[in-house]
Amino acid sequence: MAKLLGSDWDKAFDAGQSSRLLQNRNRHLGMLLACEQSPYYIQILYRMLRFRRDHEIEPLNDDIYQAVKTAQEQLAGEEYSPEKFNQQINQLLEWKLISRRIEKERLKGYRDASRNKFRYALEDDTCSFLNWLEERMEQDISGSYDDTRNLLDDVLARLRGVIRELIRIDCDYCDEDALTRIRMLVYHFEQIDDLSARISRRLIGLNARLSAFLVSHYSIEEATKIIAELEFYLKTYLRQLNESREDILSAIEELSSGERLKQLRFCRKTMLEEQKRTSLLLRSGGTIETPETQLRRMSSFYENEGQLDRLCHRINDSAMKVWGKMSAHLRELERKNTRLENLRCRLEEIAELPENAVPESFLLELLAPAHMVGDKQYWDEFEKADPPQPRRETGSMRTQPRSFLGAKSDKGKPVQSLEESRLEMLRGWINLACRFNDRGEADIARMEISAVEDFMRVLELGRRGILTEGKTLRKLDYQLKTGRKMKELVSPEGRKLEFIEMKLVELKNGKNA
């Protein structure tokens, strides 16, 4: 499973490891979103999350009910009874989104049926899901994302801070102050990967918005927002990237040098030993990666033609397409404005005409369809159209038909049919291409192919030797034997012909030699 989250993720994905993302996860979280009572469930869970943040990990049943009663009544528009609350709590327990514990000190006897003895706690998956919903709501309200420019500055600042702290690290001595510095150093070094991932997500999101803009109808507000983002990207971010990239790469190269790399290994080793001693306090998603792996991943992300450059190239391509779409829209607006200006000028001319004057020609041209089928000759009630031109007729004359075939020349050769000519050509090809052994047999699969046309000869040989029980091929004193195995021939151009095993046998006096 760890390979799926590492650099060899593609191999792990092809092996079907991505399905393990669902392993150990509570799939009832989907039911929480899809059911009709989801707003009521969310309010109970979110109030429990607020209890948790106030350091009350397991609130009592009555405390939760009193805390959510007003909100639930406001949402439903009716009284919120304890029975309904208990029903919703039981559903959350059935989905394993919360856990329940009995507080023994509150038991009044073995027949105590009150629910105030129960304490409830959120499961880990539920907490993560509620935090994600909270983050998404915050992004919807503020509409702000990570400023990629500031993230680049943060990456450079953390790299320089790691280098400054490494100078103060002594690999032969480690006291409490040194251990504190090592914790901070390892934390900042681990955060650089997270910052790089946030930069990548920000650029991928920008490219996704540009691609969505290309395939959808847009309003002026959306176009203005896209143009503002492109302006920031082109004027600010690209310049910042060119200025910061060399400093980032030089810092990574310095950390990859002998002394600094040795100090990073010492810090990693120290933190692994501290994790083993205090495993409950220092919870981690996994083992700390080696410095070499992290530095190699950073270098491949920020180097020239690296992952960051590839993301920028994709955004540049999408930006050019957006620019083309906006240019086409602008040209269409200009064309419409030109038509409106022409109509406005024409209306001004008509307004200046005398009161009884009617611009008939203009109105006819204005109301005429784009493709009008009618008489091309002009006519009206006062002027007649010109008569049609007489047709030009050509007289029919008898002429001798022209023959395009030349006369056949007979030079004394015997008359030969087309079938006999083809058989003679096949015989000549067999003599040139096939090599017979001492028993008078030739393996077709071992013959030499000089051109693709030899494939046609092999097909013709098979047709002559298999159809009609080989009678046609026996006219050339040959017989074709076939097997069950598949053979193939390869031409000099690399083309292949696959066929069943065939052997050509010479016949003498109608019998096999």
Instruction: Give 437-461 pLDDT, tens digit per residue.
Output: 888 888 888 888 888 888 888 888 8
Contact 123, 99 (CB under 8 A): yes
Structural tokens at position 470: 């080989």
Nearest to 69 by CA among 38, 108, 30, 40: 40
Q: Would you say residue 29 has pLDDT above 70?
A: yes
Structural tokens at position 24: 């150990």
Contact 451, 491 (CB under 8 A): yes
Between CA 419 and CA 491 the distance in angstroms is 27
pTM of the predicted model, to two decimals? 0.50
Between CA 192 and CA 155 the distance in angstroms is 6
Query: Tokens 């847009």 — which residue?
Result: 218
Query: What does the pLDDT read at residue 393?
Result: 65
- pLDDT, greater one: 142 or 14: 14
List beta partners, residue 131.
none
Q: Would you say residue 360 has pLDDT above 60?
A: yes
Query: What percent of the chain stands above pLDDT 90?
Result: 11
Query: What does the pLDDT read at residue 251?
Result: 87
Query: Tokens 């076939």 — which residue?
Result: 482
List beta partners, residue 511.
508
- Helices 453-466 and 418-433 cross at an angle (nearest 10°) of 110
Give the residue-averaged pLDDT of 420-439: 85
Lowest-confidence range among 51-60, 208-217, 393-402?
Answer: 393-402
Q: Would you say residue 285 has pLDDT above 50?
A: no
Structural tokens at position 219: 């309003």
- Helices 38-53 and 61-76 cross at an angle (nearest 10°) of 140
Going 193 to 195 to 198 to 199, the CA torsion angle's sign is negative
Q: DSSP letter for 235, please.
A: I
Nearest to 205 by CA among 146, 162, 119: 146
* Secondary structure, 3-state, 137-201: HHHHHHCCCCCHHHHHHHHHHHHHHHHHHHHCCCCCCCCHHHHHHHHHHHHHHHHHHHHHHHHHH
Query: What does the pLDDT read at residue 5?
Result: 67
Give the residue-averaged pLDDT of 297-326: 84
CA of residue 283 relative to chain centroid, distance = 35
Query: Tokens 């009618």 — which residue?
Result: 374
Query: What does the pLDDT read at residue 513?
Result: 40
Query: What does the pLDDT read at residue 375?
Result: 60
Between CA 347 and CA 362 the distance in angstroms is 11
* Residue 395 φ then ψ, to 5°: -70, 150
Nearest to 508 by CA among 461, 474, 480: 474
- The DSSP annotation for 287-341 comes to PPPPHHHHHHHHHHHHSTTSHHHHHHHHHHHHHHHHHHHHHHHHHHHHHHHHHHH
Query: What does the pLDDT read at residue 95?
Result: 93
Query: What does the pLDDT read at residue 396?
Result: 66
Containing 120, the helix (H) or strand (E) segment is strand 118-122
Contacts of 45 (CB under 8 A, 6+ apart): 32, 92, 97, 98, 122, 126, 130
Instruction: List C-alpha distances in Å: 23 to 17, 20, 26, 27.
Output: 10, 5, 9, 10
Instruction: Name the average pLDDT for the chain.
Output: 80
pLDDT tens string 366-392: 777 665 556 666 777 777 777 777 776
Other Cβ atoms within 10 Å of 312 Cβ, number:
16
Length of the chain: 513
Q: Would you say residue 112 has pLDDT above 50?
A: no
Secondary structure of the chain: what % helix, strand, coil (to 5)?
60, 10, 30
Contact 255, 162 (CB under 8 A): yes
CA atoms within 13 A on the CB side of 473: 24
CA of residue 314 relative to chain centroid, distance = 12
pLDDT grade for 509, boundaries at 50, 70 and 90? low
Query: Tokens 């090599």 — which residue?
Result: 435
Q: Would you say residue 180 has pLDDT above 70?
A: yes
Query: What does the pLDDT read at residue 97?
Result: 92
Between CA 79 and CA 61 the distance in angstroms is 18
pLDDT tens string 478-506: 888 888 888 888 888 888 888 888 888 88
Q: Would you say residue 190 has pLDDT above 70?
A: yes
